[in-house]
Amino acid sequence: MENMAEEELPPQEEEEEAQVRVPTPAPDSALDSAPTPDSAPAPALAPAPAPAPALSPSLASVPEEAESKRHISIQRRLADLEKLAFVTEGDIDSASSLNSDNQNTENSRTCPLCPKEKFRAYSNHKLRRHLQNLHWKISVEFEGYRMCICHLACRPVKPTIVGEQLSSKLGAHYHCIICSATITRRTDMLGHVKRHVNKGETKSRYIAASTTKSANEILKEADTDIQVCPNYSIPQKTDSYFNPKMKLNRQIIFCTLAALAEERKPLECLDAFGATGIMGLQWAKHLGNAVKVTINDLNENSVSLIQKNCHLNKLKVVVDSEEKEEGDALDEDGTLGDIQVTRMDANVLMHLRSFDFIHLDPFGTSVNYLDSAFRNVRNLGIVSVTSTDISSLYAKAQHVARRHYGCNIVRTEYYKELAARIVVAAVARAAARCNKGIEVLFAVALEHFVLVVVRVLRGPTSADETTKKIQYLIHCQWCEERIFQKDGNMVEENPYRQLPCNCHGSMPGKTAIELGPLWSSSLFNTGFLKRMLFESLHHGLDDIQPLIKTLIFESECTPQSQCSVHAPSNLNKQEENGVFIKTTDDTTVDIYSAQGKRKSSEMIINTAKKQKTDVSAAHPPFYYNIHRHSIKGMNMPKLKKFLCCLSQAGFRVSRTHFDPMGIRTDAPLVQFKSILLKYSTPTYTGGQSEGSVQTAPEETVADRVEMSVNDKAEASGCRRW
């Protein structure tokens, strides 16, 4: 048996060298270190240069996986690493690639990842402590495996280095589980593995995959099939980004387009940043001939993926005004429509062509594309802008907001509505530069995005009316009171007088800051939102209906118990003298010019007068968070009860989608706090009887409410407009 082992040992060493593809210096011959009959069974595996590329086929750590090629420093558990030091006599042949110099003595235990000159233990406890503290503790973890640090002679060394210099150059290193690279530093190894993951290389080449997964995955959303690339939800890892969390955004934009399609047909629609093309595919598939969809993307891989998704949904593809041959074949099977796919810069495309509906959803801010969007958009068209740079809009990166939007912003209790008004102000300025005005149909600010949808009104007069609605906001940092600055160019001696609060007189120093410029007018159009709700019911979009209902209640500033939402059965649309009039059930009349016709001067004057009279009917700006204004030592009332209390006091009140605990009301902050204090109950402390505690705080609360109401009764008539 010894002679057979001696004959088979060198070929196995050559096979191991070929697998690792690194030169392995062999200072001692493997034949000289062969075990003698007198020697005891090897209690440990030797870590000489040969074991560096050694494999662990006899390992019982992961018997369920087909692991045929894996370095011994890559293990799942610490116990698996300890087993390498305890190989029985029958396993000598299977572990013959390991150095057998450590089998000379019976009691010695040698680390399988260190050379014999570096470490030799004479107890199991010392070996375990060495493996745990040196190798296992500073390992790199990846998908359940640990890449332990290795001190063997695995790394290639310059041929000019010999003798003592050789041992000094053979330092510690890590073996990559994905490729055959060896990295010296742990931080470099972490970055090396991260680069593999960013490229989508997450499968180890040492582990045989059980099944071969297709490169692209097919997802389904709203009866639309799309093919996505690997790592589709991470922008840094894929060219065609698809975010499943933006499903709500896609549905609300679809309802917007469906409501616009009821006004005039056909509509030329543009999805300026298609990525996978999911949004444009939903438009063409569900609205049919009412829309002519154009999907654009600058990335070549995204364009090819959009074309595949069009064929997957039986939609004809038009590229450069020429239909592909596949489109004719699909037409016989019953195609739902055609989609034009373009590959160019979004700014260039919007300068070359005119559209009725434009959706902008770039990665980050949209300010770089607003001028091009309003350059050729048709009159009474709609521009929807999705901004995902929430770090700047939500006042986490204030310098970025100042650079992109040119506004000053701080973190407030109403920061989400503040973000929506910042985006609307940027949209309004871009439209005014093109001699166009806007009417805000709705603005939504959720966790991942800020969506603003506006209708375009042509003419310099509309542009002037739009710019007048961009104002600065005075915000008190002590009590969170806020008010828009008055119109006019004259400098006020004391701007603090505009605030309803008296914090500047009672608090030292400067108590208020100026935020903006912001959009100061309404953020919602009730009639258009009701039409969107009807379209969501018609197309079966159940996920978006609660949000649209909340927007309707918020636009009317009415509690849900007092507001009824019906389908727009009494929505009358007629055209008189070139004017398109929409009359909704809430007696509001929105007057627009018919497409291609300008407003008369008399109609403009009447519209301006109507807008001035309807200011009081618009929803109040901003909202209060009930938790931010809670009284210490008092239990707040339920939110629904508090809404009823404010409504009974004569104030307009509603909930808001910006904040689940927010209340939109026209009540001043002083009255808001006094009513909150009135209906709050005291927090009882232990050690006191319930009856005595119950009577005293009630009297105290009543006195505090009377004092607050009597002292600040003059603030009841204040409004924040």
Instruction: Answer yes or no: is 409 within a domain.
Output: yes
Same domain (yes/no): 362, 463: yes
Average pLDDT over residues 685-689: 44
Instruction: Answer yes or no: is 7 within a domain.
Output: no
Same domain (yes/no): 181, 269: no
The SS3 of residue 321 is coil
Same domain (yes/no): 315, 371: yes
Instruction: Answer yes or no: is 19 within a domain.
Output: no
pLDDT tens sequence across 657-681: 999 999 999 988 888 988 988 888 8
80 within 8 A of 59, measured Cβ to Cβ: yes
> Residue 438 pairs with which residues in a beta bridge?
456
Same domain (yes/no): 230, 247: yes
581 within 8 A of 589, measured Cβ to Cβ: yes
Instruction: Answer yes or no: is 527 within a domain.
Output: no
pLDDT tens sequence across 434-487: 999 999 999 999 988 999 999 999 999 999 999 999 999 999 888 888 989 887
Which among 413, 398, 228, 420 has a CA at the least distance from the CA of 309? 228
Cβ neighbours of 26 (radius 10 Å): 15
Which among 544, 521, 336 has a CA at the least distance from the CA of 421? 521
- Answer whether residue 29 shows pLDDT above 50: no
Same domain (yes/no): 139, 284: no
Instruction: Answer yes or no: is 326 within a domain.
Output: no
Q: Which of 238-242, 247-251, 322-326, 400-404 has the lowest mean pLDDT?
A: 322-326
The SS3 of residue 212 is coil
Give the residue numbers spanning the domain of 644: 624-682
* Segment holding 171, helix H or strand E: none
370 within 8 A of 385, measured Cβ to Cβ: yes
Looking up tokens 């296992």 gives: 136
- The answer to whether the bond into 266 is cis (omega within 30° of 0) is yes
Instruction: Answer yes or no: is 60 within a domain.
Output: no
> Which one is predicted more confidently, 711 or 623?
623
pLDDT of amino acid 561: 60
DSSP 8-class letter at 92: T
Q: Which of 179-193, 295-309, 492-506 has the highest mean pLDDT?
A: 295-309
Which among 323, 408, 129, 357 has a CA at the least distance from the CA of 253? 357
Q: Measured at the alpha carbon of residue 366, what is the angle toward residues 361 and 370, in degrees to the nearest 5?
A: 110
Provide the token pair at 464: 């002037």
Residue 360 CA, chain-centre distance (Å), reads 16
Each as own residue / partner, the long-range contacts of residues 533-537 (CB below 8 Å, 24 or more positions apart, any chain) are 533/255, 533/565, 533/567, 534/259, 534/567, 534/568, 535/255, 535/258, 535/259, 535/262, 536/251, 536/255, 537/567
Cβ neighbours of 570 (radius 10 Å): 9
- Answer whether residue 296 shows pLDDT above 70: yes
679 within 8 A of 642, measured Cβ to Cβ: yes
Cβ neighbours of 416 (radius 10 Å): 24
CA distances, 276 to each of 112, 217, 239, 281, 332 (Å): 50, 12, 9, 9, 25
pLDDT tens sequence across 108-159: 677 888 887 777 766 778 888 888 888 888 888 888 888 888 888 887 655 5
Q: Which of 122-136, 273-287, 494-508 has the highest mean pLDDT?
A: 273-287
pLDDT of amino acid 696: 38
- Answer whether residue 687 shows pLDDT above 60: no
Instruction: Answer yes or no: is 705 within a domain.
Output: no
Same domain (yes/no): 298, 248: yes
Q: What CATH number has the domain bearing residue 228?
A: 3.40.50.150
Same domain (yes/no): 198, 130: yes
pLDDT of amino acid 591: 39
pLDDT of amino acid 720: 38
Same domain (yes/no): 224, 205: no
Provide the token pair at 130: 């060495």
Same domain (yes/no): 379, 233: yes
DSSP 641-665: HHHHHHHHTT--EEE-SS-TTEEEE
pLDDT of amino acid 168: 47
pLDDT of amino acid 237: 63
> Can you tell me the distance from the alpha carbon of 255 to that of 275, in angstroms, rounded to the nearest whole number?
21
> Can you tell me the distance from the alpha carbon of 501 to that of 330, in angstroms, rounded to the nearest whole number?
68
> Can you tell me the distance from the alpha carbon of 358 to that of 91, in angstroms, rounded to the nearest whole number?
71
- Answer whether residue 62 shows pLDDT above 60: no
pLDDT of amino acid 69: 65
DSSP 8-class letter at 144: T
Q: Which of 110-119, 308-317, 406-415, 546-555 has the lowest mean pLDDT?
A: 110-119
> Can you tell me the distance from the alpha carbon of 412 to that of 423, in angstroms, rounded to the nearest whole number?
17
Confidence of residue 699 (pLDDT cuts 50, 70, 90): very low
Same domain (yes/no): 195, 242: no
Q: Which of 194-203, 363-372, 390-399, 556-565 has the lowest mean pLDDT?
A: 556-565
Q: Which of 124-128, 400-404, 704-708 has the highest mean pLDDT?
A: 400-404
389 within 8 A of 367, measured Cβ to Cβ: no
> Can you tell me the distance from the alpha carbon of 362 to that of 74, in angstroms, rounded to the nearest whole number?
42
Instruction: Answer yes or no: is 434 within a domain.
Output: yes
Name the CA dihedral angle for 173, 177, 178, 180, rounded to a multiple of 10 degrees. 50
The SS3 of residue 411 is coil
Same domain (yes/no): 296, 428: yes
pLDDT of amino acid 90: 38
Same domain (yes/no): 269, 348: yes
- Answer whether residue 510 shows pLDDT above 70: yes
Please, how many CA atoms are within 13 Å of residue 544, restricted to the half-sphere of its CB? 25
Confidence of residue 632 (pLDDT cuts 50, 70, 90): confident
> What is the rounded average pLDDT for all residues in the chain?
74
Number of domains in the chain: 3
